[in-house]
Structure formats: structure tokens, C-alpha cells
Amino acid sequence: MDEPQLAGKTVLVSGGTQGLGEAVARRAAAQGAAAVAVTGRNADEGERVRAELEAAGTRALYLKTDLADVAQARASVTDTIADFGQLDCVANCAGLTSRGSFLDTEPELFDAHIAINLRAPFFIMAEAIRHLVGRGAPGSIVNILSIAEHGGQPYLAPYVAAKAGLAGATRNAAHAHRWDRIRINGLDIGWTATAGEADTQKRFHGAGDDWLEKASSNVPMGKLGQPDEIAEFVVFLLSDRSGVVTGSVIDWDQNVIGGSE
């Protein structure tokens, strides 16, 4: 029987208290991670996830973190290391999805997207890389991006700007630290069925409780992206099973960029 993919690894999941991040944290634990730290702003949800991971047999830590504050973003790494002794893998899953076009985005909204969707993962990567280089240890980072970073809808202007920036930072960091054996990849996910997406659809697009059923009927595979399926691939990329792959930004969607009818 194959060894679990993350056997003995210590993993940090930003945004790990809900949605895709929670699915990644649970998958990491199920694949043998020795310890999993999750971050988020909601302490009740964070403690729920921590308790459930520990009940399942994995050392777990919840760190209340507002990623808009770069000091807290950095501290999520150093606090994880202080508690567990080391860090091997990072999944940057947190994200802001509020809407804005080029004509109605004010600087405050733009800055919020840059802070959470670009600056926070940038400095989380930096702190993790610093730790790994200092230990002389290999490691792996996966950044959750968006298929929208290729261009996106008009109402996603600041979101697209930030995610496209993170795609570039992912490649840059991977190139800079390939000789340190630190692998860094990104995943451009498409429309995904999460509770957060339900809130977004209702808040910004006037969707009803049947939004998921309607959305699923209008996509090629008859369903939106599933957090558990994406989490499996994230953990694969974090693990040694993904071999030497680094600097890749992989589209995870059912619509093909550049395709046309």
C-alpha cells in the first residue's frame, strides 16, 4: 500500500476555515500530514476545523488571521513554525471576491484586493521560503489563483489584477528557488461550489436559493468545480508525488481559454 502523500509533513493552509481551504486542510490530514495549521478571521469556524482535525488524529492549530494586515499574514507562518517546530508545505487558499469594474472600482476596493489576493500570499510565501532555505530543506507551495486571471469578466477588474499578479509571483518565486528544491505552483480554478460562492452570487448577482442548480445546468460537465476534487489535486501538488513540477500555473476549469464556438 502506498504511503500517504503528505506523511510526516507540516502544512499551513491560509483560508483553511471554510470552503476550498477547509477541504485542503482535511485532505492534507487524511493524506498523513503530521500537523496542519489553518488561518481565517472567524474564530468559531477556525476552532471547529481545528477540533475536528485533532479528533481525527492530526495535530492542528487555528490562527486567527486578517490577511489584510501583512504583519498577521507573516505571523501565520512564524507562529506555525513556533508551534510545530517546522513548516514543509503551504497552500494559499484565502481570497477576496467582491466585485468591481474598471469604471466603478474605487482605490479602497482595489487596495483590498491587492492586500488579500496578492500581498498576503506574497509575504506568506516569502516567510515560508526563508524558513525552508534556513533549514536547508525542500518544500512545496501551492497558490490558489483563478481562471479569471487570464482576463475575466468586466465586474472582476481588481480581482483579476491581483490574481494575475499572484500568477506572476508564483512563477518568479519558483524560478528563484528551484535550486533550493522548493517547488511552487499555482492552480487557476474556475467556478466552484462553496458556501462563499453562494453568498457572492446572492449578494452581487441577485441569485436565489436555486443558484447552484441553475449554474450547474449551464456548464459543460453539469456541475461546478467541487472543493474535494480540487483539494485532492492541491495535496498532490504539495506532495513529492508531483515530482519535479514547479513554476506551473495550471487551469482547473471546464471552459477552455482561447476556445471559441
Predicted local distance difference test score (pLDDT) of residue 225:
84
Task: Give ∠ CA 53-54-55 in degrees, rounded to 5.
Answer: 90
In this structure, which amino acid lies at residue 247?
G
For residue 120, being part of any structural domain is answered with yes
- Predicted confidence (pLDDT) per residue in 19-59, tens digit: 999 999 999 999 999 999 999 999 999 999 999 999 999 99
Structural domain range at position 239? 10-190+225-251
Instruction: Check pLDDT > 90 for residue 2.
Output: no
CA distance 189 to 91: 14
CA distance 41 to 175: 32
Nearest to 205 by CA among 94, 99, 96: 99
Q: Does residue 159 carry a catalytic annotation?
A: yes
CA distance 188 to 32: 26
Please pick, among 159, 192, 224, 234, the residue that the annotation labels catalytic: 159
Strand partners, 59: 35
For residue 138, being part of any structural domain is answered with yes
For residue 216, being part of any structural domain is answered with no
CATH number for 36: 3.40.50.720
**Is 41:66 a contact under the CB 8 Å cutoff?**
yes
For residue 159, being part of any structural domain is answered with yes
DSSP for residue 225: B
pLDDT band at 197 (very low <50, low <70, confident <90, very high): confident
CA distance 231 to 228: 5
Question: 3-class DSSP state for residue 4?
Answer: coil
Report the number of distinct structural domains present in the chain: 1
DSSP for residue 89: E
For residue 85, being part of any structural domain is answered with yes
For residue 3, being part of any structural domain is answered with no
- Predicted confidence (pLDDT) per residue in 64-81, tens digit: 999 999 999 999 999 999
- Would you state the cell numbers that stand for residue 152, as one nine-digit string? 475575466
Q: What CA–CA distances, in Å, run from 16 to 19, 34, 95, 110?
A: 8, 16, 11, 24
Centre a 10 Å sphere on the Cβ of residue 146 and count the other Cβ atoms it contains.
27
- Predicted confidence (pLDDT) per residue in 116-154, tens digit: 999 999 999 999 999 999 999 999 999 999 999 999 999
Cα 29 to chain centroid distance, Å, stands at: 16
